[in-house]
Amino acid sequence: MTATPGADDTPPADVDGPDAAVTDSTGATAGTPARAAKPIVPVVLLALAAAGLWAASRMTWVTVHSADGLTEPRTDDLNGGVWFGALTPLALVLVASIAAVFAVKGVLRQLLGVVISVIAAAAAVPGFALAAGAGNTADRAGTLAELPVRAVVSGADTHLGPAILSILAAILALAAGILLTRRTGERAELSGKYDNPVFRRADASAAVSKQNAETGTAAPLSDRVLWDALDAGTDPTDTSDTPGADHGPAGENK
């Protein structure tokens, strides 16, 4: 005589159902591949850094005063593009790197972050040098101003505002480079891989089989793991010590 399965024969109830999505500790939904995080913060930092370098290249860094003894004293203003010729190209490189951030992923994005960090370090050098008063500012200013041979530089006034702005822009670019070297995108892809039902069910099946083989009893696993194991074709209640010869399928007694 066949016994009618009762309420006790029903598999452990899961309020969400066997195929329901489960949210893990990282906020990713199980069963749905996690999307790679978009590099919004590095892109914003790069945009601000490029704008800062470009603005600094248009501002006056040094004002040089000179006289040749024949004409009126001469005053020349040297902007950032003249004082440090690579300042504007570096700003353009940072703008181009914004597009490159979206074009590459993984290791290439990390390498891009390293390159951006090097560019940031190079962009900070002239600002630090001017703020620290390194080198002979007056002689350099006279050379860059293209003064006549007979002219004599009587003084050079430095403007720290543009130099500090370039340093801040370089710091922003460095921060963007450091963020890009972190493999956040790959972590998200790996999370999506292991949240995939195929991999999750295989792991659950392996966990149940391992526990049964080691202890010989049903493993004290969560309902989620039990459902995944059942979906994978592994019976969590089928243990080596259970007298299977005395029981029929689904708890039926012979």
| pLDDT tens sequence across 149-163 | 788 888 888 999 999
pTM score, whole prediction: 0.60
173's tokens: 């670019």
Q: For residue 79, what are its two tokens?
A: 């902007």
What are the tens digits of pLDDT across the range 95-140?
999 999 999 988 999 999 999 999 999 999 999 999 888 878 888 8
Q: CA-to-CA distance for 19 and 228, rounded, in angstroms? A: 9
Is 157 within 8 Å of 55 (Cβ atoms)? no
Rounded Cα distance, 16 and 7, in Å? 19
Whole-number Å distance between alpha carbons of 117 and 222: 47
Nearest to 55 by CA among 81, 76, 77: 81
∠ CA 63-68-70 to the nearest 5 degrees? 130
How many angstroms from the chain centroid is the CA of residue 213? 42
Question: What pLDDT does residue 32 have?
Answer: 44
Give the pLDDT confidence of 37-49 residue by residue, as tens digits.
678 999 999 999 9
pLDDT < 70 regions, the chain? 1-37, 183-202, 204-254
pLDDT at position 201: 61
Cα–Cα distance measured from residue 57 to residue 53, given in angstroms and rounded to the nearest whole number: 6
The 152-158 sheet, strands edge to edge? 74-79, 60-67, 152-158
Bridge partners of 60, per DSSP, are: 79
Tokens describing residue 15: 């309020």
pLDDT at 148: 79
